[in-house]
Structure 1
Amino acid sequence: MENPENQLKHELILYGRGLIAEAYFRYLSRKEQAGEVMCFAVTTMNGQGDTYCGRPCLEIEPALAKFPQAEVHLALQEKYHGEVVSLLEKLGRRPERVIGLHCMTELLGEQGIREISTACSELTVRRNPHDYSMLEIAASEHPEEKFTFYPMTQVPLSPEDMAKMRSYVQGNFFEGWGGIKDLAKSASRLDENVLYIAMASSAKDALVSHEGLPDYVHTVLGGAAAYEGQRSGELAYDDEGRNISLYNNLYSELTVAYWLWQKAPQTKYLGLCHYRRHFVLPAEVQGAIAKGEIDVLLTRPRLTFPSVREYFANLPVTTMDELDYETMLRLIESEDSELAKFSRDFLEGQIHFPNNMVIARREIYLDYCSFMFKILQGMQEYYAGEGVLRPDRYLGYVGELLTTVYFACHRGKYRTAYIDYKLLKEI
């Protein structure tokens, strides 16, 4: 198939409706080719609106009948490609281009590198070597002080966003957060008495290789209350003891964090990672943990535009919305009015710590969980009392905001290091 970079000269039907389709439309708009898009198409409407991104949205058969000369470009998750290609073949058509998440992030990543490098020559921007979907950005004179950036939802950037990016990256963010810039270049072996990382997994996980995982990473099956398969003594299950396992569809990996909070082993440090996302712990960081020279490890701060609130509550990236955002703030307000004001102000900024991935001293991790789950369970109880149904995973996304707020409001209090995570490849 042709390279999407080539000039488009035909009418287009974009088959897809969601994050990837919207990103592809935005990409074409930047290249002044979105005028060729006649409509978006879906297999069945199922009550979806009849417009999307300012274009008509039709079922695929009426779309092909209305625009018989249009090229068809697929723009949806890879797992649906085979099904949709087969459907088109039955209708006597083949897609001219097939765009999935990996392809779209590659395209927008290259576009982001070009735009940021041109507009901010004093910054260094490159692909993150651990996660194909991310860029990393640093001031040229301080390459170790890196931020991550997700181009999928952020590119193109407005001049205002570029100015904010430059301000954050060239500012004194790391100094202001009590970060540890220079760790001792010595390593000490981490053993089971020092660090316990719960790896949140589920029965629906894609297959990835976990060969060679360190001894301090332990698999915990999330949503175990609904798991009907045979249990293994080599795994832990998040329905043991006091738990929220039945609500894994709402909390995602945080049902495992809850399990860790309730059943935390007596290690000095606790942490949470995902079955595909794992901390990158260089020797000097492991040494600092073993020697107790560090309090908290967070994933590198993520630059988010136009704001963290807008990203989480209004962009098609999460399943939470403004109702969840305001409910979260109201519940924080009921606990601590100053923290609520801080949270509202901070989340109007451009920094968050993604994926609920944290390593911290045991007492800090437990306190963080106590704060987070009081708010999350308060939201769940409030909606239940009001008879309001919320979508899957929304509390997992709210948790990312609470993770950010908790460690933001404690900035400077803890000795903190910012580390990469790596995305494991599917088998």
Structure 2
Amino acid sequence: MDVAIYGAQAIAFSTYKAIKEIYKEYNVCCFIVTSIDNNPTELDGIPVYSLSELIRMKFNKNNMKVVIATPESVISEIKDNLEQKGFTNIESIDSEKFAYLQEQYYKKTAFCDVLSSYPYGETKAELEIYMTKFWKDKELISKMLLPQYFVSVQAGAANTDVRVCDILDNEGDNISARNGDYSELTVLYWAWKHMMRGEKYYGLAHYRRYLMLDEKDLYRLENNDIDVVLPYPMIYESDIQVHHKRYLSEEEWMALLQALEELYPNYAEAYKDILKKPYFYNYNIILAKKNVMDDYCNWLFSILFRVEKIVNSNGNRKPNRYIGYIGENLTTLYFIYNQKRLKIAHTGCKFLK
């Protein structure tokens, strides 16, 4: 069956790679986008068409399945538009389906370990995951009863009198006022400095996205001596440099490379090869043992503070979340660099609408 994937960014390309690996009976014939602007013209040699262009080409809609692989916030609108245009065979890839595709893909390709593949034992791990909330966050349509190990923390509390959480990121040693650049990382910094005291697994989540962990997974962590749990890496075409070119200016990117060279030259050298790979850890989401989280945060924030000093030496620069995007790049670098030293497991990332 011919399949067209709606989308042309990381979710769409990761979906394509999984379909190609798992469902040999499917032939992905093209990618569809609403507008070709800011999108590639082809992915892995397969053309990317705007929807209007595809319709003009008179594809047989009855013989084509359209798989929507975009952020969930726009899936409903895309599906309605496709139905209005006469498409009937449509499948939407929500976060649950996407996680399944990623799980099956990585089980087959073995690039990274899948958490659900580990046996579970008798010891249940203790978790504490800090869920960032911001006073301008949109209200969620989907309501979820979250486990008690989630701790809500208001991000950027120093910049507003509005309160959405009992726990704030502007108490004690903090970088709350710099939330406009650091995004959810102001909560990670605050939690690292004030909350990570016991021998638990500590983590970071976002009010609308978090790691998918079921009850059995909690019995897998300690029993298999897992150091870190990360979301499945996204797959980029042709390598992960696509990410920084989309989200960072040249000045911001060069500041990161300079900071790495100054502070951690071994990482700077390794990054040259890692950048040529297609795997990238999005979202600044993590769960790790205390000692691992401590080492990671110490490494991460030393680099971010140096980048900030290079880019914004006079403190007058308009915030644009660039540090948050750099954080994703550094998460990718740190854990791929240390993948032989650390036992890293992966799971899906749940998105709430």
**How does the TM-score come out when normalised to structure 1?**
0.60
Q: What are the Cα deviations for residues 162-218 of structure 1, in whole angstroms up to 9, with x where unaligned? A: xxxxxxx74x422xxx7667322456555xxx2110001110111125542111100
Deviation at 1:231, TM superposition (A): 7.2
1:405 is aligned to 333
Residues 338 and 127 of structure 1, relative CA distance in 2, 3 Å threshold: farther
1:349 correspondence with 2:277: yes
**How far apart are residue 348 of structure 1 and its match?**
2.5
1:225 aligns with 2:163: no
- Could you tell me how far apart the structure 2 residues matched to 1:408 and 1:207 are? 35
Distance of aligned partners of 1:25 and 1:403 in 2 relative to their CA distance in 1, 3 Å threshold: closer
For the structure 1 residues 187 and 335, does the alpha-carbon distance in structure 2 shift closer, same or farther, using more than 3 Å as the test?
Answer: same
Q: Aligned partners of 1:237, 1:108: CA distance in 2, in Å?
A: 42
Larger Rg: 1
Query: Does 2:110 match 1:184?
Result: no
| TM superposition shift of 1:279 | 1.4
Q: Distance in 1 between matches of 2:94 and 2:305?
A: 37
SS at 1:385 equivalent: coil
Q: Corresponding residue for 2:74?
A: 101
- Which is bigger in relative contact order (C-alpha 8 A, separation at least 6)? 2
Kindly indicate whether the alpha-carbon contact (under 8 Å) linking 2:130 and 2:205 is maintained by their aligned counterparts in 1. yes
CA contact (8 A) 1:20 1:104 kept: no
Residue 49 of structure 2: which of 30, 34, 37 is its match? 30
Task: Note closer, same or farther for the CA distance 1:369–1:282 as it changes in structure 2 (3 Å cut).
Answer: same
Q: Which residue of 1 aligns with 2:85?
A: none
How far apart are the structure 2 equivalents of 1:384 and 1:24?
Answer: 27
Instruction: Specify the alignment match of 2:61 in structure 1.
Output: none
Distance in 2, Cα, partners of 1:230 & 1:33: 45
Aligned equivalent of 1:396, options 311, 324, 327: 324
**RMSD across aligned positions (CA):** 3.6
The alignment partner of 2:95 has SS state of coil
Contact 1:183 1:288 in 2 (8 A): yes
Match of 1:253 in 2: 184
How far apart, in 2, do the equivalents of 1:253 and 1:390 lie? Answer: 18
Q: Is the 8 A contact 2:229 2:344 kept in 1?
A: yes
Paired with 1:362 and 1:136, the residues of 2 have a C-alpha distance of 29
Q: Distance in 1 between matches of 2:335 and 2:132?
A: 21
Q: 1:407 to 1:363 in 2, by over 3 A?
A: same
Deviation at 1:357, TM superposition (A): 0.4
Which residues of 2 match residues 187-336 of structure 1 at below 5 A?
189-190=124-125, 194-208=126-140, 211-229=144-162, 235-267=166-198, 268-291=200-223, 293-313=225-245, 315=246, 318=247, 320-336=248-264
Cα deviation, 1:24-56, whole Å, max 9, x if unaligned, reads 98799626955999xxxxxxxxxxxxxxxxxxx
Alpha-carbon contact 1:127-1:136 (below 8 Å) kept: no
Q: Distance in 2 between matches of 1:187 and 1:338?
A: 40
Runs of 5+ consecutive residues of structure 1 not aligned to the other structure: 6-18, 38-99, 110-125, 147-168
Structure 2 runs not aligned, ≥5 long: 6-32, 42-46, 57-72, 83-90
Is contact 1:200–1:220 with CA below 8 Å preserved after alignment?
yes
Q: Say if 1:184 and 1:250 are closer, same or farther in 2 by CA, change over 3 A.
A: same
Q: Percent identity?
A: 26
Separation (CA, whole Å) in 1 of partners of 2:242 and 2:50: 25
Normalising by structure 2, what TM-score? 0.71
Q: Quick one: structure 1 residues 21 and 251, their matched pair in 2 at CA, closer, same or farther if it must change by over 3 Å?
A: farther
